[in-house]
Chains A and B, each alone.
Chain A
Amino acid sequence: MIKVSNLRKAFGPIQAVDEVSFEVAKGETFGLLGPNGAGKTTTIGILVGAQTADSGTVEIEGAGDARSRQIRKLIGFVPQSLAIYDELTAEENLKFFGLLYGMGGSELRDRVAAGLDLSGLTDRAHDRVATFSGGMKRRLNLACGLVHRPSVIFLDEPTVGVDPQSRNHIFETIEQLKDHKCTIIYTTHYMEEASRLCDRIGIMDKGHLLAVDTLDSLVDKCGGESTVKIEFAKPFGAHGELVKSFKSRSPFEEVAQFASLGTELKAVHVERADLETVFLNLTGRTLRD
Chain B
Amino acid sequence: MILAIAQKDLKLLWRDKAAMFWTLGFPILIAVLFGSIFGGSSAAAKIKIAVIDQDQSPKSERLVERLRQKTDALDVSTVTLEDAKNQVRKGVLVAYLVIPSGYGEHSNPFAASQSKLVLGIDPKRSAEQGYLKGILTEAVFQELQEMFSHPTQFRTEIAQQRKLIEADPSFAKPEKQKLLKFMEQAEAFVQSIPSTQGSRNGGLRPPAIEVQPLGETASSPKSAFEITFPQAIIWGLLGVVTTFAITIVKERTQGTLLRLRVAPITPASMLAGKAAACFAACAGVMVALLALGAIVFHVRISHVTLLGLAVASSAICFVGIMMLLSVLGRTENAVAGSSWGVLVFCSMIGGGMVPLMAMPAWMQQVSAVSPVKWAILALEGAIWRGFSFVEMLPPCSVLIVLGIVCFAVGAKLFQARKD
- In the complex, which residue of chain A has the Cβ closest to the Cβ of B256? A83
- Cβ contact of B254, chosen from A48, A49, A82, A144, cutoff 8 A: A82
Q: How far is the CB of A53 from chain B (nearest CB, A)?
A: 12
Q: How far is the CB of A69 from chain B (nearest CB, A)?
A: 5
Residue contact B254 to A66, C-beta cutoff 8 Å: no
The CA of A99 and the CA of B16, in the complex, are separated in Å by 23
* A281 beta carbon closer than 8 Å to chain B: no
List the A side residues contacting B173 at CB < 8 Å: none
List the B side residues contacting A186 at CB < 8 Å: none
List the B side residues contacting A88 at CB < 8 Å: 8, 11-12
- In the complex, which residue of chain A has the Cβ closest to the Cβ of B418? A51
Knowing A85-B12, A87-B16, the reply to whether A101 touches B263 (Cβ < 8 A) is yes
The CA of A234 and the CA of B256, in the complex, are separated in Å by 67
- Cβ contact of B1, chosen from A66, A75, A82, A99, cutoff 8 A: A99
List the B side residues contacting A75 at CB < 8 Å: 262
Q: How far is the CB of A127 from chain B (nearest CB, A)?
A: 13
* B15 beta carbon closer than 8 Å to chain A: yes
The CA of A50 and the CA of B419, in the complex, are separated in Å by 10
Task: Mark contacts of A52-65 with chain B using CB atoms, 8 A cut-off: 1 yes-contact digit, 0 otherwise.
Answer: 00000000000000
Knowing A99-B4, A100-B1, A100-B4, the reply to whether A84 touches B262 (Cβ < 8 A) is no
Residue contact B8 to A49, C-beta cutoff 8 Å: no
- In the complex, which residue of chain B has the Cβ closest to the Cβ of A81? B255
- Cβ contact of B263, chosen from A72, A85, A128, cutoff 8 A: A72
Within 8 A of B (CB), among A86-129: 86-88, 92, 96-97, 99-102, 128
The CA of A100 and the CA of B264, in the complex, are separated in Å by 7
The CA of A49 and the CA of B260, in the complex, are separated in Å by 11
* B417 beta carbon closer than 8 Å to chain A: no
Q: How far is the CB of A2 from chain B (nearest CB, A)?
A: 15
Residue contact B255 to A85, C-beta cutoff 8 Å: no
The CA of A84 and the CA of B8, in the complex, are separated in Å by 12
The CA of A83 and the CA of B254, in the complex, are separated in Å by 6
The CA of A145 and the CA of B255, in the complex, are separated in Å by 13
Residue contact B264 to A73, C-beta cutoff 8 Å: yes
- Cβ contact of A69, chosen from B5, B259, B264, B418, cutoff 8 A: B264
List the B side residues contacting A224 at CB < 8 Å: none
Chain A residues bordering chain B, tally (CB within 8 A):
30
* A79 beta carbon closer than 8 Å to chain B: yes
The CA of A97 and the CA of B259, in the complex, are separated in Å by 8
Residue contact B262 to A96, C-beta cutoff 8 Å: no
* A77 beta carbon closer than 8 Å to chain B: yes
Knowing A87-B16, A100-B4, the reply to whether A50 touches B264 (Cβ < 8 A) is no
- Cβ contact of B262, chosen from A66, A82, A85, A86, cutoff 8 A: A66
Which of the listed residues B1, B15, B254, B259 has the most CB atoms from chain A within 10 Å of its own CB? B259
Task: Mark contacts of B2-21 with chain A using CB atoms, 8 A cut-off: 1 yes-contact digit, 0 otherwise.
Answer: 00110010011001100000
List the A side residues contacting B265 at CB < 8 Å: 100
Residue contact A100 to B12, C-beta cutoff 8 Å: no
Residue contact A50 to B256, C-beta cutoff 8 Å: no
Within 8 A of A (CB), among B256-298: 256, 258-265
Residue contact B4 to A72, C-beta cutoff 8 Å: no
Q: How far is the CB of B243 from chain A (nearest CB, A)?
A: 12
Residue contact B8 to A79, C-beta cutoff 8 Å: no
Knowing A86-B254, A99-B4, the reply to whether A77 touches B264 (Cβ < 8 A) is no
Q: How far is the CB of B1 from chain A (nearest CB, A)?
A: 6
List the A side residues contacting B263 at CB < 8 Å: 72, 97, 100-101
Residue contact A49 to B261, C-beta cutoff 8 Å: yes
Residue contact A50 to B4, C-beta cutoff 8 Å: no
- Cβ contact of B259, chosen from A77, A86, A92, A99, cutoff 8 A: A77
The CA of A79 and the CA of B255, in the complex, are separated in Å by 8
- In the complex, which residue of chain B has the Cβ closest to the Cβ of A144? B259
List the B side residues contacting A86 at CB < 8 Å: 254
What would 4 more interface pairs be, CB under 8 Å, given A99-B1, A102-B264? A50-B261, A92-B11, A101-B263, A128-B15
